[in-house]
Amino acid sequence: MKLVRKSSSETIQLEDGFFWSDENWSAIQQNQEYAINGALIIQEGRKQAGRPITLQPANKTKGWIKLRDLNKLREWQNLQEQFTLQFEWPHDQRRFNVVFNHKDGALESSTIKGTPATSLDTYFNVTMRFTEVSDGD
């Protein structure tokens, strides 16, 4: 899996140990209410964007990122730019146009060992939150 900064084509390679925790998302938005006479009124439509993509470690032994890449993610989260999230599994080659989801907390991280980082090669568990957007958003 990789995250590509669209404006510069810079890439951060992400290990395959991340789990997309909110993948089961419905593209249909529906409102139901009753009219004065008791009739059910249903309004529904298809969402055009806004799908959440939360990538979190599948377990404590997966979803690791070195501090050097985490620092780049921290820098990128503060840019108001779009990114391409590319899955690179043999069974899944999907691509998503995303922005960092600041509303729900774009990044969470902690060192694997629970101690301060000692080098740029120190590993962190990271949860990344994105929102899928259309190319024109």
Q: What is the pLDDT of residues 101-131, one digit of tens each?
A: 999 999 999 888 888 888 899 999 999 999 9
For residue 59, what pLDDT is reported? 85
pLDDT bracket for residue 137 (50, 70, 90):
low
- Residue 39 has what pLDDT? 97
CA–CA dist 17, 112 (Å, integer): 14
pLDDT over 90 (residue 16): no
Residue pair 130/99 in contact (Cβ under 8 Å)? The answer is yes
Summarize pLDDT for 45-64 with one digit per residue, the tens: 999 889 999 999 988 888 89
Domain assignment of residue 137, yes or no: no
* Rounded distance between C-alpha atoms, residue 43 and residue 34, angstroms: 11
The burial class, CB within 10 Å (0-12 / 13-18 / 19+), for 117 is middle
> Residue 15 — pLDDT band, cuts 50, 70, 90?
confident
The answer to the question of residue 55 being in a domain is yes
- What range does the domain containing 24 cover? 2-132
| Residue 28 counted as domain residue | yes
Query: What is the 8-class DSSP label of residue 89?
Result: B
Q: Tell me if 56 is assigned to some domain.
A: yes
Q: What average pLDDT does range 70-89 have in this prediction?
A: 95
Average pLDDT of the chain, as a whole number:
92
Number of structural domains (the chain) is 1
Q: Determine the average pLDDT of the residues in 25-53.
A: 95
Predicted pLDDT of residue 136: 61
